[in-house]
Structure 1
Amino acid sequence: MKKQHGHAFRSAAALAACATAAVAAGCSPPPSGGSSSKGITVAETAAPSTLDPQGSALYADRFAWQLSYQCLMTTTPDGKIEPELATGYKRSPDGLTYTFDLRKNVKFQNGETLTSADVTYTFERLKSSPDGIAKELFPTFEKAVASGDSTVVFHLSRPDAGFVNNMANPLVWGCAVMNKKAATSEKMATRMVGTGPWQQDSYRPNSELKLKRFADYWGEKTASEQLTVLYVPGTSTQVNDLRAGKVDLIFTATSSAKTLSGSDKLEVKNVPTDSTIFLQVNNLTKPFDNVKVRQALALALDRTGLAEHAYSGDGARPSVYIPDSNSWAPKPAEVPNSTQNAAKAKQLLKEAGFPNGISTELMYISAYDPGTNDLVATLQDQLAKAGIKIKLDPLEVGAWADRLGEAKYALSWNAQSYYSNPYQYVAPAEGRQGPVPPPLKKLLDDALSAADPAAYEKALVAVQQWEAENVYPTITLLATNLLVAHQKELTGVDMPASQSRAFLARVSRG
């Protein structure tokens, strides 16, 4: 997957976690709890490996953290950055310092008041994250210095226009502010102490997380008094529990749509997400060192057909590098080499010296999710029509990740989840392909040096267009959708494209 690392599965660890969740469907589910008039019960597929918001790069772990932790800033569902624990920030003219003023009278769930000491401690602690979160999200971060009790100054080694985007991650990955006293005295792997609207009540690892309304929360209180999260790895069990009223809400694949339809007690919503699926193209291997061959590869693909055949037409939609939840990003039809043209693909192969086409291999994680096997089979068929014959190479997670990391592949399926910083959708994954071409390196540097958000967005569009024209480093294919199924009596069910579970604070029984 990309960096699932965060985020998708550019990172092997993340990949393994998601794949493990799918395989775990055969495990025995925990006892189902009943719904309550005072609270709501939701089911999640994968239990967190830790409740420490700096202890893991696995995407599924963040779904728990979002309930209790918050960041200095946040990103709204429409992509706007807004204040959260900070009231705002100022950027220095040279782009090397960011000054945040903290919100007054914010309480942690242990009764402590938020101060600049908690923020500086948080980011120093982040440098020791076992999964290198600080290095991935904040590669330019040098230090955070308190200026009084309510102001923090962040010093960077070089300009980074995406710094605030990463500080505003609605998944709270990398930016969750921790309480210094709690983090140095309690076991954060099993105990969350944040500033968010939900306060941890009890926790049974791999089974159940119970939360209650945080009475001293600085913002709008939760709509329900209690929230229970059950960890139920089997999709069929989740569906059965929802039908039986043992849970109020589940997040599930589109393959469950028909199973859930027709009930007068349930509502099913198809939610577009920013999780994307793409082809990693190794330009270190022949013939993909030839740009015309890479362009032919991109032009041979019909993204709409891929979505229809692999995800039943409603489980995914065509996408390019920067997902369409970013309103400023070009649509797929406006991006070079993103509209199928098999005839042009054949002509490019001929010009590259391959009049009879080429043969290559595509590696992927076997049975990664319900759509993957169908996706690669459809890819194989589409490419063949343009003269590109591929042999499918299904692998276990570990073998796939090893070969990807060592650049021992020609083509690879890959996936990634949400990034709050759009730069990360276009950033090359070094070590998996050849060196970043100088023209692209300049465009990337120009983006990071942008003086304001509008200039940053414009620069990122330029990066995307260059990458699409040269088909480097990847070919983004689809953005996936997710079903949110719930009891019809619930109100406030409105999950954003980031898949942040923070929206559960607004859910209640009508």
Structure 2
Amino acid sequence: MSQLDRATRRRLVAAVAGTAALAVTACSPPQPGSAASSVTIAETTAPSTLDPQGSGLFADRFAWQLSYECLLTTSADGTVKPALASDWKKSDDGLTYTFTLRPDVKFHNGETLTADDVVFTFERLKKSPDGIDTELFPTWSDVTAIDKSTVQFRLKAPDAGFVNNMANPLVWGCAIMSSKAAESGNPDTTMVGTGPWQQVSYRADSELKFQRFGDYWGTPAASEKLNVLYMPNIATQVSNLKAGKVDLIFPDSASAASLKGNDKIVVDKAETDSTIFLQINNMAKPFDNQLVRQALALAVNREELAEKAYNGGARPSVYVPPSNAWAPKPSGLPNSTRDVAEAKRLLTEAGYPKGFATTLMYISGYDPGTDNMMALMQHQLAEVGIRVELVPLEAAAWSDKLTKPDYALSWNAQSYYSNPYQYIAPAPGRQGPVPASLQKLLDAALAAKDQESYQKALVAVEEEEARTVYPTITLLATDMYAAHDSALTGVEVPPSQSRTFLAQVKHD
């Protein structure tokens, strides 16, 4: 959560950009190829740049990951695995990470990947406009090429999540670039990576074309060509899917429901690691009282929010999303299962036997479930005596109040993080100082020696945050939908929403 508000604002900017594009983009998309060896998909939001270091917008990453790769990657269950690096080691003091590069990896321009390209990539990252380097690698000091196939990173302080951020399947902050291509070409419009897809052409806000990369080091792409069409209007995507002009789309819940029953189209629901949570300003009364925060947490019925607000398109979640098998479920954490009687008792003990009034701000219409969710929460909290006035806001006004901070309770949302620490770390300035007991646990997590001990340490952090109900109450993990031609195989969207699965998609 240390980066959640910045990430949320980026998602909001992408959504606003998509809405604006809707007003000016023609409804008739470019005609895709009809060959069975070609797959055509539609995306709602076009990338603002193809430079993997040039933006923090979540939607931009869906294009980058088709061409670029990182030294490591993360599987659907959260396991860190080798990618461009075949091996890595951490020093005993946790300050040095040494990566051995996979041999004979080729960039799309024919150049061989070397340690110098890795050094170039991360030195360039220090100049990223959004400060991506400090956001993802806050303790990183320097990077050195030991030899052509070995690269070493030094940290100023231990960070057990360093490898997790180096393994982002969305390639955010870790995409390895060709030094020659980046310096001689234009990364804003042309991607030269090491991935299974080689860029062929790009028409801004319209179409991005790829072909299978013949010298790919891993499993070759299942189809010869991939075409990505940018259609901000979901209805246009649906009509093109029905007409056979597009093979795969990612519809909203209402559009997905409208496609069910069509024997030529398959609609899949994919569980994601994007979460919705309640931000609590514990610098404002009465939320400075832990008993009040505990009562607030016990008033929430996550199952009802998922079923009624999102029509089953979400799942109950606590801090680390449920796709991580090692992470606790709501039933395994204190103050995370609804108990109206206990909530009322705690309010009485806190000096509020008749409850109290407060406000809850949110972005109106952020997604199809937000407004209904806020109304349901208002009802749930009223049952324990917390009388909530809902305050719907435009995105800019909401963000301004959140960052001051000028709110009591606030809805919030965040997209996928490859490093689970980012789901639980308090965001500076959004609430009061981090309690000493929690800070000690956070420091212990960062100093963990390996992934298993890191996960155990993060569970201890979750338990403490749930006990004290600080800094937030995570409510739900949302789902997404993929609708595709019934002849298409290999459509398996991971919790990260990464589009790397497209390399395995083909016509049966």
The TM-score with structure 1 as length reference comes to 0.97
User: Judging changes above 3 Å, is the alpha-carbon distance between structure 1 residues 431 and 2 closer, same or farther for their aligned structure 2 residues?
Assistant: closer
Residue 279 of structure 2: aligned partner? 280
Residue matched to 1:136: 135
Q: Supply the distance in 1 between the matched residues of 2:24 and 2:357 (Cα, whole angstroms).
A: 40
Superposition map of 1:70-81 within 5 A = 70-81=69-80
Say whether residues 1:271 and 2:270 are aligned partners: yes
Summarize deviations over 1:143-165 as a string: whole Å, max 9, x none: 00000111000000011100001
2:354 alignment counterpart = 356
The question of whether the paired residues in 1 share the 8 Å contact of 2:32 and 2:227 is answered with no
* DSSP-derived class of the 1:252 partner: coil
Correspondence for 1:13: 10
1:466 to 2:464 alignment: yes
Deviations 1:194-219 (A, max 9, x none): 00010111101111111111111111
1:2 is displaced (CA, Å) by: 8.9
List gaps (5 residues or longer) in structure 1.
none
Please report the RMSD computed on the Cα atoms of aligned residues, expressed in angstroms.
1.4
In 2: Cα distance, 1:497 partner to 1:399 partner: 30
SS class of match (1:444): helix
Identify the residue that residue 326 of structure 1 maps to in structure 2: 324
> How does 1:403-414 map onto structure 2 within 5 Å?
403-414=401-412
**Equivalent position SS for 2:351:** coil
Answer yes or no: is 1:258 the counterpart of 2:246.
Answer: no
1:302-338 CA distances to partner (integer Å, 9 max, x unpaired)?
Answer: 000001111112x101111011111111111111111
Contact kept? 2:50, 2:63, Cα under 8 Å: yes
Matches within 5 A, 1:284-299: 284-299=283-298
In the alignment, which residue of structure 1 is the partner of 2:246? 247
Alpha-carbon contact 2:361-2:407 (below 8 Å) kept: yes
> Post-superposition shift, 1:277?
0.4
The answer for the alignment partner of 1:508 in structure 2 is 506
Q: Distance in 2 between matches of 1:124 and 1:436?
A: 32
Gaps of 5+ in 2: none
Superposition deviation, residue 388 in structure 1: 0.7
How far apart are 1:355 and its partner, in Å?
Answer: 1.1
Is the CA contact 1:311–1:371 (under 8 Å) kept in the aligned structure 2? yes
Residues of 2 paired with 1:74 and 1:138: CA distance? Answer: 16
Q: Structure 1 residues 302, 24: closer, same or farther in 2, change over 3 A?
A: farther
Partner residue, 2:179 = 180
Are the structure 2 counterparts of residues 401 and 289 from structure 1 closer, same or farther at C-alpha, using a change threshold of 3 Å?
Answer: same
- Report if aligned partners of 1:361, 1:390 keep a CA contact under 8 Å in 2: yes
SS in structure 2 opposite 1:419? coil
1:257 shift after superposition: 2.8
- Pairs within 5 Å for 1:9-88: 9=8, 12-21=9-18, 25=22, 28=25, 29=27, 31-36=29-34, 37-88=36-87
CA contact (8 A) 1:3 1:14 kept: no
* 1:499 maps onto 2:497 in alignment: yes
Letter matched to residue 213 of structure 1: R
- Structure 2 match to 1:476: 474
User: For 1:350-389, what aligned pairs fall within 5 Å after superposition?
Assistant: 350-389=348-387
Identical aligned residues as a percent: 62
| Partner Cα separation in structure 1 for residue 355 and residue 382 of structure 2 | 9
Looking at structure 1, the residues matched to 340 and 91 of structure 2 have their Cα atoms a distance apart, in angstroms, of 50
CA shift, 1:23, in A, is 6.4
Match of 1:381, SS state, is helix
1:128 maps to amino acid: K
Structure 2: distance between partners of 1:120 and 1:199: 23
Contact 2:201/2:209 (<8 A) preserved: yes
How far 1:3 sits from its partner (Å)?
4.0
Structure 1 residue 5: Cα displacement: 7.1
User: What is aligned with 2:426?
Assistant: 428
What's the TM-score, normalizing by structure 2? 0.97
Quick one: structure 1 residues 23 and 393, their matched pair in 2 at CA, closer, same or farther if it must change by over 3 Å? farther
Contact kept in structure 2, 1:4 and 1:58, CA below 8 Å: no
Distance 1:2 1:461 in 2: 17
